[in-house]
Amino acid sequence: MPTIAPPTPTDELSPKVAAATKPNHVMLADGRLSDLNGLDRRQLHELQWEQEQKFTHAILAFPKGSQERVMIVGQAYNTICTILAAMQGDDEPLQMGMDKRYIKLVLDLLVQQYNRGSARPALFEVGYGCGSLLDEVRGQGYQIGGIEVSSTMRDQAVGVLGQRHEENLLLGDLRSVDTESLPFQPTVVYWNDVFEHIAPDEIKDYLQTIYGVLAPGGVLVTITPNWLLRPSDVTGDFCPARTEARGLHLKEYSLAEVTSLLKQTGFRRIGTPLASIPGKLIMCGGGGRWVKQRIEPMLDRLPVRLAHLLCRGFAMSITLAWK
């Protein structure tokens, strides 16, 4: 059997990203154009809150799988990401939900897969945003690709990763991906702060698509804010704790609900990190997932700050599911 060299850090230089030209206008949920020039951060934040609620109603008004819903979803994230970029106030790519612990988790999984005999471990990210995670993984010599619904964010990702990776940065609805046309079969699929943005009547379809794309023995990493932390979207800036999300978090899930959906899809083994501490995820077997699911209802009876602390410390917003 020929010897296959392990992936090694690439000497490919990250492209020099030109300063982005920020859009002056966004399309609102009612189809009107709004000028962002002259709006201060407070006004932009209020516009985000207003538009997330309106886009949510528009998304759910159309039936599952309809082209109208797909188009509204794409426009919603173009609009909200543009508003968030304006709030950021500089020309850097817009990063959301990124954490060095997640980068290390993904890289560790890829290394483990190689050590167990996978010749070409590869990452596919659903909702890659500006491409910062893909860039880190690319830098270690692994194959990368993904899909994004926002053309605004895809443009940023192409700027971060360079033109040579553009063909692997898909744009559109995950369910429309032709698995036969993918340049590689991913051994790790990762999505961070995407699960909760999908309409509840479509989440099973997304999971089935991911299951079909994933290589046998591969792993799906899901990071989605646990229901105990509700609301985790913009709602939390305007409403009290334990209010149901009203923005583009269309449903926030408990660990038990995420586990149930993954099992229904066919994943054979599901776990969580054992714990999350500053700068590190502690991994140990299944991470005590079953125990965490049992205590979820009890945690919700605790004072909010304590419940949040325990939920985060027990890494109850992270699941790993093996095919």
Q: What is the pLDDT of residues 249-266, one digit of tens each?
A: 999 999 999 999 999 999
Q: What is the total count of domains within the chain?
A: 2
Percentage above 70 pLDDT, the chain: 93
CB-CB contact of 250 with 197 (8 Å) = yes
Residue at which a domain ends, from 88, 123, 138: 88
Q: Which DSSP letter does residue 196 get?
A: G
Q: What is the pLDDT of residues 15-41, one digit of tens each?
A: 555 444 556 789 999 999 999 999 999
Shared-domain flag, residues 78 and 193? no
Could you tell me if residue 288 is left (phi over 0), alpha (psi between -120 and 50 degrees) or otherwise beta?
Answer: left
Shared-domain flag, residues 62 and 206? no
Nearest to 318 by CA among 105, 80, 13: 105
Shared-domain flag, residues 79 and 191? no
Answer whether residue 14 is part of any domain: no
Answer whether residue 16 is part of any domain: no
Shared-domain flag, residues 76 and 154? no
User: Positive or negative, the Cα torsion across 81, 82, 85, 91?
Assistant: positive
Answer whether residue 142 is part of any domain: yes
Shared-domain flag, residues 118 and 215? yes
Shared-domain flag, residues 135 and 263? yes
Q: What is the pLDDT of residues 32-68, one digit of tens each?
A: 999 999 999 999 999 999 999 999 999 999 999 899 9
Distance CA 75, CA 25 (A): 13
pLDDT band at 196 (very low <50, low <70, confident <90, very high): very high
Nearest to 44 by CA among 75, 74, 12, 79: 79
CB-CB contact of 301 with 308 (8 Å) = no
Domain range for 294 is: 100-322
**Model confidence pTM above 0.85:** yes
Shared-domain flag, residues 68 and 217? no
